[in-house]
């Protein structure tokens, strides 16, 4: 633990004009208040606030922040009071200490409604003075560094909270070094086997290839020397969690990852950044789609750098970041650079942003989110998303999250533009509203009088602002179309069992389900929240197991041992009339597969598990569920008409599952109960013949749902 004089000397190294008396006074006061307290490790508790202060000293922060770090636990854990701190160390410092105390008391990993409210408090505290969250982040970092002394359950809870909130927040504030360390420690707690595996693979790779980092560093330095560009080159292997995340996102094995090394080139001027870029691209092939210019279009937290990925030595992909020294300071410290000192004065870094502007804008927009899920949506998008920069036809820059669409662009300009959006042009060409925007594109929104938001827009929009506005509009619209569709689905399903979907019957179902009335039942059927078949089972449970078709459902398959029960494999959904085979599974009955099911290829080497089965002759009950994949026009009445067509074939729709909702079409999976292959063929032919059906096929996959 640093003693008072050592800590003061560290501060004076970058701020000779620091208030020695105030810093030493805070050190002595906190030491006295924490006297007799110990941490789980057995160390004096006061070692913790000193370590937090040391972390912030490394960022060259001002006196008030360092003093707050020393005092941050005095109000919560000692006899120290707000008034006493205000009298001894100024009211401003007392407010900062109180702010950190309030953040510490927030249970940020609680259930979502509570979490949303605490997020509001967190961002409101940040908006008053960003230094509160800087101290809290340093506090969390030191606690994570010493987390091994905590009980395992507490470690897991804190690691989840760190991964979900504090690490992304540090990254959003531009403090990438802190984000990486927080993620790595949390990763070590939550998935130690995966982390150890990645480290072992790294060691194996280093033995096979040698010191790749030093070789590529030398290559880049040689290129810079050739073109007479001065600068420094730093290389490193990426952190284990960064590699793990990339493996999960891209679904790649470690051996297939290419850009696992990162390099930074620090130049003297902005012009040299572009000179280095040109020199590197002349020597190595640039990887398409992996270039970003954050110098001309900086991130909102002040981050500036050029990113490029090239195919370097031995064809290895190498990610290179190019920036000046001042840009690098902001890239490492983020918004903390706003308060950093050098030689006793605030560092005049032209790239350091005032975080109050970002936070003020953020909190104002959060206040418009009326529901907890919408608020959390805002928070997570603002904290976790990278940005793309697009232009209006007049040349104004619009910043959006990565993956944003023209619909998000429209709502970012004005809610009124979003509501009336009827189309978009990107770089002069008409494009669908779900198009993902890229950096530098020019976007023109086409509006139409009378246009209103559609339900499909929820899946198209990415930003919290657009989603919230669309939801507000949809909530205000009449649910008549859902009720109308539900009426048609209910009519067909009830007719299938010889009943009528009367108002009294639906009201009875509503009472059983705890819903308001029959219209609510129809609305839920129409929106696929409840199946019509499920409603019939509630009202007429005796019909669920009735088989009036001849072949009883439990005797549909021949070739079983007495008492055995079969199960239809959902990967192929075999129906009577198709050749089948049984596969034995320990502890279960045979699983029935269609003879052409792709899954069977994996069982060729296990002939003992194969059972010769075939369907019972005769007319089967319409209880064999099959899924069809349909793409149809997004026009009024189309879906209802398709449901009617299926009903006319005496087939029951047991479920609807929308997998793609776009402004001009729907793609959905329809679960249909059929008798046999001939019945299924009749259903599919009837659907495919409709002029509003673009594509239709039987859905067969190893996964039951995409």
Cross-sheet strand order for the sheet of 624-633 = 652-661, 665-674, 624-633, 693-698
Closest to 123 in 3D by CA, of 133, 113, 114, 131: 133
- Tokens 């269609």 locate to 594
Would you give the end-to-end CA distance of the chain in angstroms?
55
* Active site annotation includes 76: yes
Closest CA to 692 of 645, 649, 631, 629: 631
Phi, psi of 370 (to 5 degrees): -85, -15
Cα separation of 56 and 62, whole Å? 9
Q: 654 φ, ψ to 5°?
A: -95, -20
Q: In DSSP terms, which residues pair with 286 in a beta bridge?
A: 310
Write the CB contacts of 587 (distance below 8 Å, at least 6 apart in sequence): none
Residue 517 structure tokens:
């009335």
| DSSP H or E stretch at residue 275 | helix 270-283
Rounded Cα gap, residues 538 and 533, in angstroms? 9
The enclosing H or E element of 389 equals strand 387-391
DSSP character string of 616-666: PSSPBPS-EEEEEEEEEE--TTHHHHHHHHHHHTT-EEEEEEEEEE-SSEE
**CB burial readout 550-561, b (16+ within 10 A) else e:** ebeeeebbebee
Sign (positive or negative) of CA dihedral 248, 253, 259, 260: positive
Q: Establish whether 183 is a catalytic residue.
A: no
Which residue in 20, 76, 270, 332 is the catalytic one? 76
Neighbours of 383 (CB within 10 A): 19
Query: What does the alpha-carbon distance between residue 96 and residue 114 come to, in Å, rounded to a whole number?
Result: 24
Cβ 328 vs Cβ 266: under 8 Å:
yes
Catalytic residue among 20, 43, 77, 459: 77
Which residues are designated catalytic?
Answer: 76-77
């Amino acid at each position: 633990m640093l003693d008072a004089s050592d800590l003061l000397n560290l501060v004076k190294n970058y701020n000779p004009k620091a208030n020695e008396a105030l810093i030493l006074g805070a050190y002595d006061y906190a030491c006295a208040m924490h006297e007799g307290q110990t941490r789980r490790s057995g160390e004096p508790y006061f070692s913790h606030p000193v370590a937090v202060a040391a972390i912030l000293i490394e960022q060259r922060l001002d006196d008030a922040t360092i003093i707050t770090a020393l005092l941050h636990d005095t109000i919560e854990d000692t006899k120290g009071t707000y008034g006493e701190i205000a009298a001894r160390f100024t009211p401003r410092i007392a407010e900062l200490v109180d702010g950190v105390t309030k953040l510490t008391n927030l249970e940020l990993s609680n259930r979502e409604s509570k979490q949303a409210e605490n997020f509001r408090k967190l961002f409101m505290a940040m908006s008053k003075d960003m230094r509160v969250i800087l101290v809290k982040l340093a506090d969390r970092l030191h606690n994570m560094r010493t987390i091994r002394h905590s009980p395992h359950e507490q470690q897991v809870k804190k690691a989840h909270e760190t991964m979900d909130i504090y690490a992304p927040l540090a990254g959003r504030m531009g403090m990438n070094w802190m984000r990486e360390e927080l993620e790595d420690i949390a990763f070590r707690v939550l998935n130690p086997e995966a982390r150890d595996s990645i480290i072992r693979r790294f060691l194996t790779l280093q033995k096979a290839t040698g010191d790749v980092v030093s070789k590529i560093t030398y290559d880049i330095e040689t290129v810079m020397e050739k073109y007479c560009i001065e600068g420094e080159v730093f290389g490193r292997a990426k952190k284990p969690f960064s590699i793990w995340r990339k493996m999960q996102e891209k679904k790649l094995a470690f051996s297939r990852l290419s850009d696992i090394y990162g390099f930074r080139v620090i130049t003297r001027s902005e012009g040299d950044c572009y000179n280095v870029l040109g020199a590197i691209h002349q020597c190595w092939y640039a990887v398409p789609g992996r270039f970003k210019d954050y110098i001309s279009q900086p991130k909102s937290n002040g981050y500036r750098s050029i990113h490029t990925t090239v195919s370097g030595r031995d064809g290895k992909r190498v990610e290179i970041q190019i920036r000046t020294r001042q840009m690098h300071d902001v890239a490492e410290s983020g918004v903390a650079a706003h308060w950093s000192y050098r030689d006793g004065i605030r560092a005049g870094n032209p790239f350091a942003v005032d975080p109050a502007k970002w936070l003020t804008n953020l909190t104002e927009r959060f206040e418009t989110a009326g529901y907890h899920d919408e608020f959390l949506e805002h928070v997570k998008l603002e904290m976790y998303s990278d940005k793309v920069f697009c232009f209006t036809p007049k040349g104004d820059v619009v910043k959006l999250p990565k993956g944003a669409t023209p619909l998000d662009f429209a709502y970012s300009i004005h809610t009124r533009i979003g509501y009336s959006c009827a189309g978009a042009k990107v770089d002069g060409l008409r494009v669908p509203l779900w198009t993902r925007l890229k950096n530098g594109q020019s976007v023109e929104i086409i509006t139409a009088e009378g246009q209103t938001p559609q339900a499909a827009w929820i899946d198209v929009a990415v930003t919290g602002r657009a989603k919230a506005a669309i939801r507000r509009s949809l909530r205000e619209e009449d649910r008549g179309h859902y009720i109308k569709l539900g009426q048609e689905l209910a009519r067909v399903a009830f007719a299938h069992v010889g009943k009528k979907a009367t108002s009294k019957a639906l009201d009875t179902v509503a009472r059983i389900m705890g819903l308001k009335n029959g219209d609510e039942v129809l609305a839920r059927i129409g929106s696929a929240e409840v199946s019509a078949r499920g409603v019939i089972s509630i009202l007429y449970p005796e019909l669920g197991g009735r088989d009036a078709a001849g072949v009883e459902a439990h005797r549909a398959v021949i070739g079983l041992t007495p008492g055995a029960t079969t199960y239809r494999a959902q990967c192929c959904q075999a129906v009577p009339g198709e050749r089948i085979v049984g596969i034995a599974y320990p502890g279960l009955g045979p699983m029935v597969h269609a003879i052409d099911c792709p899954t069977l290829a994996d069982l060729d080497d296990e002939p003992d598990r194969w059972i010769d089965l075939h369907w019972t002759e005769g007319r089967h009950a319409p209880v064999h569920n099959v899924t069809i994949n349909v793409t149809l026009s997004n026009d009024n009445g189309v879906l209802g008409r398709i449901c009617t067509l299926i009903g006319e074939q005496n087939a029951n729709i047991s479920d609807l599952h929308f997998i793609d909702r776009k402004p001009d079409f729907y793609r959905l999976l329809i679960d249909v109960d059929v008798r046999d292959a001939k019945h299924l063929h009749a259903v599919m032919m009837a659907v495919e013949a409709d002029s509003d059906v673009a594509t239709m096929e039987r859905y067969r996959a190893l996964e039951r749902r995409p």
